[in-house]
Structure 1
Amino acid sequence: MFFLWPQFLWLMLALPLLLAAYVWLLRRRRKTALRYSSLGVVRAAATGRRWRQHLPPALLLLACSGLLLASARPVTRVTLPWSRSTIMLAMDVSLSMRVTDVLPTRLVAAQEAAKSFLLELPKGIEVGLVTFAASSQVVLPATRDRDALAAAIDAFQMQMGTAVGNAIVVCLAELFPEHRLDVGDMTFGGVSRSASAGGGGNGRGRSLDESAKPAPPQITPVPPGSYESAAIILLSDGRRTTGIDTLAAAKMAADRGVRIYAIGLGTVDGEASAADGMPMYLKLDEATLREVARMTGGEYHYAGTAKELRSVYEKLGSRLQVQTRETEIASLMALGAALVALLAGWLSLRWFGRVA
């Protein structure tokens, strides 16, 4: 724990003065009591319940201590649920997802695991859905509507190609609309210049309409994984065949502090068969997915079966539910002190008929 305004801790020196004032008042009352003609009445009234006399003032002193500490604005590390957090779920819908090495098919297993994952997440977390094959599109913007997300997941349509980098950039465009990331410019105009400038330059001619577009803002790179309000979960069963370079897109996510949790699905041998028995040649690009996770401060998981895929999503859900962050607790301490002060006043009124 540390304090934002540590200079206010000097106010704690007032507590011994309050205690000394209380002792002085007690002695003054005893001197007044000696004036009574019958000391037996006074002793009888005080015998057995003397602790009641001191409890309300002790609680009031405790409340003052809490208020003085709160004035110094204490900050501590607290594990809390994510607040206004967003998870972008990017799922591969290329034709290779119809392969049956993960039963019943890769796509169906991924769909069921994703829907189970949504049920595990706290309701306060928003989830956006992106699909990618040769192109990437936002199926559903970030929302808390789990039923709408489940319906969108069930409606996936498979396509040709695999543009993993495009999927990452589309997710970033949803998380940072003010950065004005344009996947079209990056895809057709070269990503290296776009990535370094935050997604703007493209190295190709522009029409008169395109020249009116405002230039994307320059961004200052932050430490990988430092953006705690969002994360990307990327599921793919193959390797990039088109679109933006995957590692260049991962660099853009790392510069913005967004973690990418990559899930590799399917075979790593390069041979499998589709549902209709037609042989297909494909290979999971584990090396690239591992590097994407490493660059962004995320994690890579391989899911070779439907059961493993579900377990991966469950583990990700448990990690993404809470986070430890530095949180100011001055308001909580002040509230606690106020409640203790109210308790002290209530006890004093109940026992003595007055606040003392």
Structure 2
Amino acid sequence: MAFVWPLMLLGLLLLPLLAGGGVLLARRRARAALEVADAELWPHLRRAPTGWVAQLPWLLYLAAIALLLVGAARPVASLPLLVNRATVMVVVDTSKSMIAVDQSPSRLEAARAIVRTFLDRVPRGARVGLVSFSAYASVLVLPTARHVEVRKALEALEPQEATSLGAAILAAVRALPGRERAGEELLGRDPVPPELQELPPATVLLISDGVSTSGLDPLEAARVARAHQVRIYTVGVGSPRGSIQEVDGQLSFIPFDPSGLEQIAALTGGRYVYPPTPDALEAVPAELGYAPRWEHQRLEISAFFAAGGFVLVLVGGLLSLRWYRRLP
């Protein structure tokens, strides 16, 4: 056990002084009572216990002070907690085609709304990460149970240039636990076979208009995902008719291509979702899987010491009132 404010523990050195003061105070009160009471009536009037039991309230107060001082030092301990090892990487297309307005207010804003809806419904404790991609993929948030980090990164997304679906899929898979060296062969390196028995459940949620213009073959990356037991759910954003949009001062046709998204989902055992309505997205969080595991995590346990100190003060006070009709 460690302490955030260990200097607070120096207060424990005062406990012997407090204990000595309590003994002196008890003796003084006993002598004062004998002086004012009739010696023959004293045994009949005195109902409080004698010996060390008579000091029990005071001992409880001392123990309470010790617990409160330890709590004030902010102890931190490594405790076993049951955590969900299931993980999902959210992958958002930020290529320039996502500025198209065939899905209101734009494809990128629609993708942002989809991720917000997903985060609202994903189980607490599930680990979520975020990847954005255009000509290349960037892992913005590694898998974490702090979904607020994903929300912050999501709001900062801006449209970029070309689109590489394959790079995005591979980056997402390699960010998942136990899959850090997945797809080495696609990067020109010696392949590393996956250790399937060690892999926790993992899912990729890919949100895109489906158009891939550069980089790795998306289907090759999807095969890597399948080999590492990663399901990919794809969500299409855009209109089947595409969109005509002014890009760099010229009118351009921006297509929407769901066929690649459908193949990726089918190849990995996931599902293609279109249109991305809340009802259609409802089942995705429920299919993430659950992999409970005991893990040691460092947690501050000040509250336990504070609660123990409060209980001891309460018990000591009740005994003092019952035996001596006073506090403390």
Determine whether 1:317 maps to 2:285: yes
How far off is 1:219 after superposition?
3.6
Report the alpha carbon displacement of residue 94 of structure 1 after superposing the two structures with TM: 0.7
Cα distance in structure 2, aligned partners of 1:152 and 1:249: 24
Greater Cα shift, 309-318 or 115-124: 309-318
CA-atom RMSD, angstroms? 3.1
Q: Does 1:241 align with 2:200?
A: no
How far 1:315 sits from its partner (Å)?
2.9
Q: What letter is aligned with 1:154? A: E
What is the letter of the counterpart of residue 123 of structure 1?
R
Partner of 1:10: none
User: Take 1:312 and 1:144, find their aligned partners in 2: how far apart are those partners?
Assistant: 24
User: How far has the Cα of 1:102 moved from its partner?
Assistant: 1.1
Identity in percent: 32
CA distance in 2, matches of 1:219, 1:148: 29
TM-fit CA distance, 1:173 = 0.9
1:278 is displaced (CA, Å) by: 6.0
CA contact 1:166–1:249 (8 Å) conserved in 2: yes
Question: How far 1:309 moved relative to its partner?
Answer: 4.1
In the alignment, structure 1 residue 134 sits paired with structure 2 residue 106: no
| Equivalent position amino acid for 1:316 in 2 | V
Q: State the distance in 2 between where 1:229 and 1:267 align.
A: 32
Which residue does 1:295 correspond to in 2? 267
Cα gap change, 1:178 to 1:318, in 2 (>3 Å): closer
For the residues of structure 2 that align with 1:159 and 1:219, how far apart are their CA atoms? 33
Q: Are the structure 2 counterparts of residues 218 and 228 from structure 1 closer, same or farther at C-alpha, using a change threshold of 3 Å?
A: closer
Q: 1:164 to 1:102 in 2, by over 3 A?
A: same
Task: Determine the structure 2 residue equivalent to 1:336.
Answer: none
CA contact (8 A) 1:86 1:229 kept: yes
2:234 is aligned to: 262
Are the structure 2 counterparts of residues 82 and 110 from structure 1 closer, same or farther at C-alpha, using a change threshold of 3 Å?
Answer: farther
User: How many residues are paired up?
Assistant: 212
CA distance in 2, matches of 1:163, 1:120: 28
Q: Deviations over 1:226-266 (max 9, x none)?
A: 96611001111131100100100011011111100011110
Alignment of 1:26-105 (within 5 A): 83-105=84-106
Distance in 1 between residues matched to 2:274 and 2:252, nearest whole Å: 20
Who is 1:152 aligned against? 153
Who is 1:218 aligned against?
193
Partner letter of residue 218 of structure 1? P
For structure 1, the 5+ residue unaligned runs are 1-80, 187-193, 202-214, 326-356
**Any conservation in 2 of the 1:105–1:275 contact (CA below 8 Å)?**
no
Counterpart-to-counterpart distance in 2, 1:117 and 1:219: 29
| In 1, Cα distance between equivalents of 2:132 and 2:226 | 21
Structure 2 gaps of 5+ residues are 1-81, 292-328
